[in-house]
Chains A and B, each alone.
Chain A
Amino acid sequence: MKSFNARFYGNPRVYLGLIWLAAVVIVAVFAGVFAPRDPFAIVGQPFLPPGSEGFLLGTDSLGRNVMAGLIHGARTTLMIAVLSTVAAVAFGTVLGALAGYYGGIVDDILMRLTEFFQTIPWFLFAIVLVAILSPSAMNLVIAIAVVSWPPIARVVRAEVMAVKAREFVQAAVVAGQRDMGILFGQILPNTLSPLIVTGSLMVATAILIESALSFLGLGAPGQMSWGFMIGAGRSFLRDAWWLVTVPGVVILLTVLAINLIGEGLNDALNPRLADL
């Protein structure tokens, strides 16, 4: 059987995804270098089309640089997406692990709670959360995490139940290990593969939610983001197509890149499934 590296890096789709995502991450981290000026600053004539002198991607309705907006938007969008995914994975893992490990009444309570969150229309729920908590980067992270954790909890619960039945877990019980030691030392390390895959795909979903919220004007105030750019440019779609199209394509490519990487991880971590 080929190693994880051979299966992961030998996949051309994974390469494309990694290249695009790496570019976005580098741009996001060094946003101040690539675009030193405030992305909200008015730097030229409004509605300059892409390719104009000094403005590769043109300017928006107020004369702000679209390129600078994209660069700084990458930072906001990625940060919110990654933080909310980390929060959702942490919460979902703990909840799913407890439900799967203890079973019985604990499982019933935690899973009914999970189903409760799953049955609420999640996008409306996110809107309500941000509206109540007031829009800010922190509250966006909270809202996205709150609507994203249930699938993680379910995946982890199923994995924990499967691993728990294996004999090495019983051996650990007989060896005198305590519940938490068994759960976090023995069981969870064996559930990492599906967790990594679900988590990586969740970053893509989080980007979409963040963009959608920003589009509706519920984004982090004072911070440029891709969704905000689309929202601000939507009324000029017929006169200045690039205001909506450019950030839209960037969102599309980034989400696609993350999905390609996630599926590559899935194929590499679950080789038997990939052969089917």
Chain B
Amino acid sequence: MAEPLLRVEGLWRRFDVSKPWLNRVIEREKPQFLTAVADVTFEIARGETFALVGESGSGKSTIARMIVGLLGASDGRILFDGKDMTALPASELRALRRRFQMIFQDPFASLNPRWRVGDIIAEPLRTFGLATGAAAEAEVGRLLETVGLSAKDAEKFPHEFSGGQRQRIAIARALSSKPEFIVCDEPTSALDVSVQAQILNLMRDLQDEFGLTYLFISHDLSVVRHMATRIGVLYLGRLVETAEAKTLFREPQHPYTRMLLDAVPDLALSGRRRKPVTGEIPNPISPPSGCAFHPRCPLVHDRCRETLPEPHSTATGMAACFATKGDRAETETAGTA
């Protein structure tokens, strides 16, 4: 793999979900913490699209927010181009910020309703001091045309646009500071299916044109299959499997990945029976012991209930499961019961 642009090492995030101090004292309760992200490690190479997939509550968006600096990390390091962003002084972090941007899920919430589109797109230009006045205006027009809108749209307000057009505006804003890395937090899940493909294709074209690197967050495997070069599967804040996109879809290793893939609607109508995903993601305040997936796992074994499986390398990438580690025969006989 080429030199990574982004490296996440042992990333943790805990949220304090305790009741107020006075209630805790009166009701004799201990502080409660929710572990949203636990010991996550991955790398993203220049020019690739790394997708994080998982159900709601698996910590996908929390990871995205920590990478762009909207949330602090409880523990661990985030290295962008070799520099540790969790330890960098504010001034250097600001300079680094220009090089990565984010596209949000809801294009109806991510554009300030009181700003003109031109000002929204020019905002990163101004704050990073890249262009002002007429130069900024020309740049905004050029960006609008890059994402398939008209330069004249700069005069309008966001409410004059449809969801897909608004997401194009959000993409233009993300591109305006000429970033190398863009975090996309479910960029199409709020859009109509017919518009989703247009936005995804636009994002791929822009990737080729500007050599962008994407971190792509989604729960929609068909979207991920279209976009990703590599995929990480999250379960309850932990990365359970990473692999090249093609091999992950062909040879899923972790039983959770298999469960997710089995649930994807089969557009080819091959007659393959779909298995619905069973069970629900557990409460992250009190996660199951051992491997967090064990209550839903078809291959569950006594060991899974007690010990947390360490990530280990597999034929296709990485997985964190006893069953994929070669102890499979033993586990499978135990699990089929």
Q: Which of B89-119 contact A (CB under 8 A)?
A: 94, 97-98, 101-102, 104-106, 109-115
Name the distance in Å between A174's Cβ and chain B's nearest Cβ.
5
A175 and B112 form a contact (CB under 8 A): no
With an 8 A cutoff between CB atoms, is B81 at the interface? no
A107 to chain B, nearest CB (A): 14
List residues of chain B with CB within 8 A of the CB of A190: 112-114
Of B101, B105, B109, B113, the residue contacting A175 (CB under 8 A) is: B101
A173 at the interface (CB under 8 A from B): yes
Question: Would you give the shortest CB distance from A39 to chain B, in whole angstroms?
Answer: 45
Given A168-B112, A186-B112; A177-B123 close (CB under 8 Å): yes
> Which of A168, A174, A181, A189 interacts with B69 by CB under 8 Å?
A174
B170 interfacial contact with A, CB 8 Å? yes
Q: Does A167 contact B (CB under 8 A)?
A: yes
- In the complex, the chain A residue whose C-beta lies closest to that of B98 is A176
A256 nearest CB across to chain B (Å): 32
Check if B102 sits within 8 Å of A176, measured CB to CB: no
20 pairs from A and B in contact (CB 8 Å cutoff): A167-B106, A167-B110, A168-B109, A168-B110, A168-B112, A170-B102, A171-B111, A173-B69, A173-B70, A174-B68, A174-B102, A175-B124, A176-B98, A176-B124, A177-B127, A181-B127, A186-B115, A189-B114, A190-B112, A190-B114
How far does the alpha carbon of A260 sit from the alpha carbon of B111 in the complex, in Å? 34
Contacts of A186 in B (CB 8 A): 112, 115
Question: Among A176, A178, A181, A190, which residue has the most Cβ atoms of chain B within 10 A?
Answer: A176
Main secondary structure of the interface of A (DSSP, over half): helix
Main secondary structure on chain B at its contact with chain A?
A: loop
Chain A residues closer than 8 Å to B173, beta-carbon distance: 171, 175
Complex Cα distance, B102 from A170, in Å, reads: 9
| Cβ of A24 under 8 Å from chain B | no
Q: Is the Cβ of A170 less than 8 Å from the Cβ of B70?
A: yes
Across-interface contacts of A173 in B (CB, < 8 A): 69-70
A166 within 8 A of B: yes
Which residue of chain B lies nearest to A181 when distances are taken between CB atoms in the complex?
Answer: B127
Q: In the complex, how many angstroms separate the beta carbon of A110 from the nearest chain B beta carbon?
A: 18
From A166, A175, A189, A190, residue with most partner B Cβ within 10 Å: A175
A sample of 20 more A-B contacts (CB under 8 A), given A170-B110, A189-B114, is A167-B110, A168-B111, A168-B112, A170-B70, A170-B104, A171-B110, A171-B111, A171-B170, A172-B112, A174-B70, A174-B101, A174-B102, A175-B123, A175-B127, A176-B127, A178-B127, A186-B112, A186-B115, A189-B112, A190-B113
Name the distance in Å between B169's Cβ and chain A's nearest Cβ. Answer: 11
Contact check, A174 vs B109: say whether CB atoms are below 8 A apart: no
Please determine whether B97 and A174 come into contact, CB atoms closer than 8 angstroms.
Answer: yes
| CA distance in complex: A181, B123 (Å) | 11
Known contacts A175-B127, A177-B123, A177-B127; is-contact A166 B109 (Cβ 8 Å)? yes
